[in-house]
Amino acid sequence: MTAGKIAILLGAEIVCHDDLRDKEIMTACGSDMMSDVMAFYHDGGLLLTGLVNIQTVRTASLLDIDAVCFVRGKIPNTDMLALAQEAGIIIMQTALPMFPACGILYQSGVKGNIQAADK
């Protein structure tokens, strides 16, 4: 599914790298704990989080995550957007809480990381 379609499903606004809205996103992870993301999510794809700080974008860059969607109406600051722009990471924001956002994506065919379920 494309990043643009994900944005439509989540009622999200793409605030960084709208030019990459045709990028295919196959998996997603929802977490506010970057240590869990680093330990369990290794598939690129989309990170859904309410943790709005520069470490979120650094973690996404380190793990080659394609896109980050900030949930619960969280708004990334200019430093975060500048780093995402440089790293080629799509940033979007939605008013949806994390659980419904993850559920909408799962129901629409976006898969989670199976490795996390095995631990």
pLDDT in tens, 48-70: 999 999 999 999 999 999 999 99
- Total domains present in the chain: 1
**Does residue 118 surpass a pLDDT of 70?**
no
CATH number for the domain spanning 23: value is 3.40.1390.20
Q: Does residue 118 sit within a domain?
A: no
Q: Of the candidates 30, 59, 33, 58, which has an alpha carbon nearest to the alpha carbon of residue 46?
A: 30
Residue 40: band (very low, low, confident or very high) from pLDDT cuts 50, 70, 90? confident
Cα–Cα distance for residue pair 24/16, rounded to 1 Å:
16
Q: Does residue 8 sit within a domain?
A: yes
Phi-psi region of 91 (alpha: psi -120 to 50; beta: other; left: phi over 0): beta
CB 67 within 8 A of CB 91: yes
